[in-house]
Chains A and B, each alone.
Chain A
């Protein structure tokens, strides 16, 4: 049996909205092994985005335990979480979330900036990542000069430039046409083949079937 990279046990997440308390996660347990390609699927409002935020160390569970690659996350402070995000995790978002008015190259190089990588190496690695995504001729383009598919490929290049162990993708194909969406999913498979663990969040069953394992989320709980 291979090593668990994600080990979430009975996690809850409650948002306190003054008078109402929203239980976005109500005791979710989840284990993902290193090298897996997992799809988390569920309807909107099921808590899958909250789950992704917690898995990505952007948020902490209200209760429960999350061990990421052997490290109990609740023991880390905010900067500790930032270091985990920087070193271990690559994010791909539905809305790409590229830095505006910043070239594709600078966008991809930015995660390395926060790792303290020197400028020359930063640019070399960012260039390589973009070339791998087939964007070698778009280095100086700013996000608003790129198509949706190209922007998502820049975002994927940014996620993989740090060679993360875990790639978290939140509806990565949601804003793309089906053909471009297929291409993006192919890229994830390539990355998975190269050794990265992929957790893909989607509400689309057609996307989910491409993963090696599907996890269903419903009402803040893991359904199956």
Chain B
């Protein structure tokens, strides 16, 4: 008997008990659908997080001023002003470093016409948008000149601009920051939450201006330095070079306690990726259990079917069916149930992951490998749980089977 004839026989047989076949398949459908959907959700979430981390800046290293030890108590990171503008300039000369933005911040009230808001005032340089992956919505960014001459110019984050009721027409007008008039030269494009802080609620001014008017010009210290490395491959080398350069500049013996830390975006990224990878495997594992339960459902119904159809098996044997004919007939029935269930499950799973992706906002990730794996898995389930009942059927004694009532 050819596979086509066996399949035809199985289909017509399953069609005679539709409800039972459908309910049996439901177990496989749910199993496969949940594997497909959960893997897609895991991958979607992983991609979403990766995108957000990348949005913080590409190939970003952040040098933070280290903690000082005061009276034996370690102070909060950034409490020391051990990093300087000169450090930033020196880091900029390292091989593979594309851009460097020193950052120093304070908090102040910003007033525009009749509205005001209290926000972060960040002193930086023209390299900031490159390093932190911002783009400009309106106007222009800080320039070399405005930093050198400590001009009173400000670039507003999009949220801050909204809070102050300022739009495109506000370019060139004045706002008051901590009582000092500044000219608005640009407004940043909305970036969205990075998941850690809002990057849209801040006002950027030249770092020199911040020192002169807010934090005092005596020190050249900065809170942190953002470093953009040219390529991802150069990250480890750049990180090592920065560390040794700053240790040298700060007179720290190797092995001593650094007064700065270099935070690495790739660490965060790889941690997130591995966490989500693990989560995906875990979810798929849990979903696989339901697939196994579905397989047991198939075995159960096949065993019942063999018993119910004992007489039919006897008749078939009497009119010439071989061991193999009966074995394959029942095995193919189990396979049709599992594969049909698997295919429907894939469709249901894809629809579910598309819906979840749309709601969560990470879109629809289609992974052909999952589909191949799900199909193969349901095939294996069909064989695994179908072969035993089929053997039971094929081994029946024809006379006993014919007498069976």
Contacts and interface: CB of A to CB of B under 8 A. Distances in A.
B250 interface: no
Interface residues on A, range: 20 to 34
B319 A158 contact: yes
B368 interface: no
Interface in B284-325: 311-312, 314-325
Contacts of B402: 58, 93, 97
Contact of A82 (B5, B16, B315, B323): B323
Interface residues on B, range: 20 to 34
Contacts of A91: 318-319
Contact of B319 (A83, A86, A116): A86
Contacts of A162: 320
Contacts, number: 59
B323 A116 contact: no
B321 A99 contact: no
Contacts of B320: 82-83, 85-87, 111, 114-115, 162
Interface string A86-100: 110001010001111
A58 B319 contact: no
Contacts of A209: none
Interface string A147-164: 000000000001000100
B5 A119 contact: yes
A99 B317 contact: no
Interface in A65-102: 78-79, 82-83, 85-87, 91, 93, 97-101
Main secondary structure of the interface of B (DSSP, over half): helix
A79 B399 contact: no
B398 interface: yes
Contact of B399 (A53, A87, A99): A53
Given A100-B312, A119-B5, A114 B325 contact: yes
Given A59-B399, A100-B312, A78 B16 contact: no
B240 interface: no
A110 interface: yes
B319 A111 contact: yes
Contacts of A146: none
Contacts of A35: none
Nearest to A101: B16
B312 A99 contact: yes
Nearest to A79: B322
A101 B1 CA distance: 21
B320 to A, nearest CB: 3
A56 interface: yes
A112 to B, nearest CB: 9
Contacts of A116: 1
Contacts of B311: 97
A86 B325 CA distance: 12
Given A114-B1, A116-B1, A119-B5, A82 B317 contact: yes
A114 B318 contact: no
A85 B318 contact: yes
B318 A58 contact: yes
A111 B321 CA distance: 8
Nearest to B6: A113
A91 B320 CA distance: 10
A114 B315 contact: no
A110 B329 CA distance: 13
**Most A CB within 10 A of own CB, among B312, B315, B319, B323:** B319
A53 B318 CA distance: 10
A93 B311 CA distance: 13
Interface of A: 53, 56, 58-59, 78-79, 82-83, 85-87, 91, 93, 97-101, 110-111, 113-116, 119, 158, 162
19 contacts: A53-B399, A58-B317, A58-B398, A59-B399, A78-B323, A82-B317, A82-B320, A83-B320, A83-B322, A86-B320, A97-B311, A97-B315, A97-B402, A99-B312, A110-B319, A113-B5, A114-B319, A114-B320, A115-B320
Interface of B: 1, 5, 16, 311-312, 314-325, 398-399, 402
What 8 A-B pairs have minimum CB-CB distances, sorted nearest first? A86-B320, A114-B320, A111-B319, A82-B322, A79-B322, A97-B315, A58-B398, A101-B16
